[in-house]
């Protein structure tokens, strides 16, 4: 999907990967860029940088964990800039790194509310408007290497939330109308301010958490956000579902493939009969057989 002349909306675009996606979309001749973030000042700064290059840009303050607010912003973006041709559901947080047996429920609730509910709310609000508009469109979701097999001990809630993001994207891929596609980018370490996102944890989920030295030091060693944004938008333009950015992640993805191969080899060895219980095939058969289905009396 070519980005030239498209309206592009990016969440989490005040900083890091989101800001880089917004700027890269402008560099690829997007018609306009909607810069969406909880951080209104940061969003305005990104929009000003883009406008300074001669591309129309507007900033929208939004907490993506608030489904109604996301709906309101999707309406505002559509009314002011037009229905987006590309929506990057990128905003996310990384809760404090704590082993799962010691972690607090507030961090799990927060990871799920922003990374999962917020991503879904973004895809739903914009996806519905794009579906109704009938023009070709694309969704880009920022997951993580943690979604495809990097089991980072000590950061379980983040890993849980990013698996969920991949799951919802994979289902959506089958449910979207034909004129809308979806890609998921799965970056490894990127040099952004994500290490400090604990400062954003809301009071009702336990309030801000102090920043930690290890995440800060790790992220400082990451690749530049601009490199990830360029690969992600290359993936969108090539219409690939999964977009990798860090070659070493293949080792972890391969380890998961090995686990799967071992599990099914053991099943075969146990002599369990290969009767099909394929849930997707069975659901299709049941729908086709239901009273009122085409071909049914």
- The contact set with ligand NAD (CB under 6 A) reads 11-12, 14-18, 37-39, 42, 62-65, 90-93, 114, 118, 142, 144, 187, 189-190, 192-194, 197, 200, 219, 222
At closest approach, how far in Å is the CB of 198 from ligand NAD? 10
| Residue placing its CB nearer to ligand NAD in the complex, 92 or 109 | 92
At closest approach, how far in Å is the CB of 215 from ligand NAD? 9
Q: How far is CA 49 from the centre of its chain?
A: 24
- List, in order, residues 6 or more apart from 244 with CB less than 8 Å away: 186, 231, 250
| Residue placing its CB nearer to ligand NAD in the complex, 26 or 31 | 26
Calpha distance 82→177 (Å, rounded): 19
Of 140, 172, 3, give the one whose Cα is nearest residue 85: 3
Strands lying side by side in the sheet with 32-37:
56-61, 32-37, 7-11, 86-89, 137-142, 180-186, 242-244
| Residue placing its CB nearer to ligand NAD in the complex, 154 or 193 | 193
Out of 110, 126, 138, 158, pick the active-site residue. 158
| Residue placing its CB nearer to ligand NAD in the complex, 31 or 144 | 144
| 158 a catalytic residue | yes
Measured N-to-C along each axis, helices 16-27 and 40-52 cross at an angle, to the nearest 10 degrees, of 20
At closest approach, how far in Å is the CB of 237 from ligand NAD? 20
Calpha distance 45→57 (Å, rounded): 10
SS (H, E, C) 271-286: CCCCCCCCHHHHHHHH
- Strand runs labelled E in the chain: 7-11, 32-37, 56-61, 86-89, 137-142, 180-186, 242-244
| Residue placing its CB nearer to ligand NAD in the complex, 10 or 83 | 10
At closest approach, how far in Å is the CB of 146 from ligand NAD? 7
At closest approach, how far in Å is the CB of 107 from ligand NAD? 14
Of 232, 254, 223, give the one whose Cα is nearest residue 186: 232
Burial 59-83 (b: 16+ CB within 10 A, else e): bbbbbbbbbebbbebbeebbeebeb
The set of catalytic residues is 158
């Amino acid at each position: 999907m070519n980005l030239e002349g498209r309206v592009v909306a990016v969440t989490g675009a005040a900083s890091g990967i989101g800001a880089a996606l917004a700027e890269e979309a402008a560099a690829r001749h997007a018609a306009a860029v909607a810069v969406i973030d909880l951080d209104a000042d940061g969003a305005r700064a990104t929009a000003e940088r883009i406008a300074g290059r001669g591309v129309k840009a507007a900033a929208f303050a939004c907490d993506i964990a608030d489904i109604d607010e996301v709906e309101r912003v999707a309406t505002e973006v559509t009314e002011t800039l037009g229905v987006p041709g590309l929506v990057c559901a990128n905003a996310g947080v990384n809760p404090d790194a704590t082993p799962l047996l010691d972690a607090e429920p507030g961090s799990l609730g927060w990871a799920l509310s922003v990374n999962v509910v917020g991503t879904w709310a973004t895809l739903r609000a914009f996806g519905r408007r794009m579906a109704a508009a009938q023009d070709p469109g694309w969704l880009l979701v920022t997951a993580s290497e943690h979604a495809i097999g990097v089991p980072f001990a000590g950061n379980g809630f983040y890993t849980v939330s990013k698996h969920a993001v991949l799951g919802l994207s994979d289902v959506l891929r089958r449910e979207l109308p034909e004129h809308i596609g979806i890609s998921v980018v799965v970056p490894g370490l990127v040099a952004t301010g994500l290490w400090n996102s604990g400062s954003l944890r809301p009071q009702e989920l336990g309030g801000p958490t102090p920043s930690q030295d290890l995440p800060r030091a790790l992220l400082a060693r990451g690749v530049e956000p601009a490199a990830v944004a360029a690969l992600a938008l290359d993936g969108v333009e090539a219409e690939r579902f999964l977009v990798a950015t860090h070659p070493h992640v293949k080792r972890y993805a391969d380890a998961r493939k090995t686990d799967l191969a071992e599990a099914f080899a053991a099943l075969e060895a146990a002599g369990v009969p290969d009767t099909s219980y394929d849930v997707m095939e069975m659901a299709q058969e049941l729908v086709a057989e239901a009273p009122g289905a085409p071909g049914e009396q």
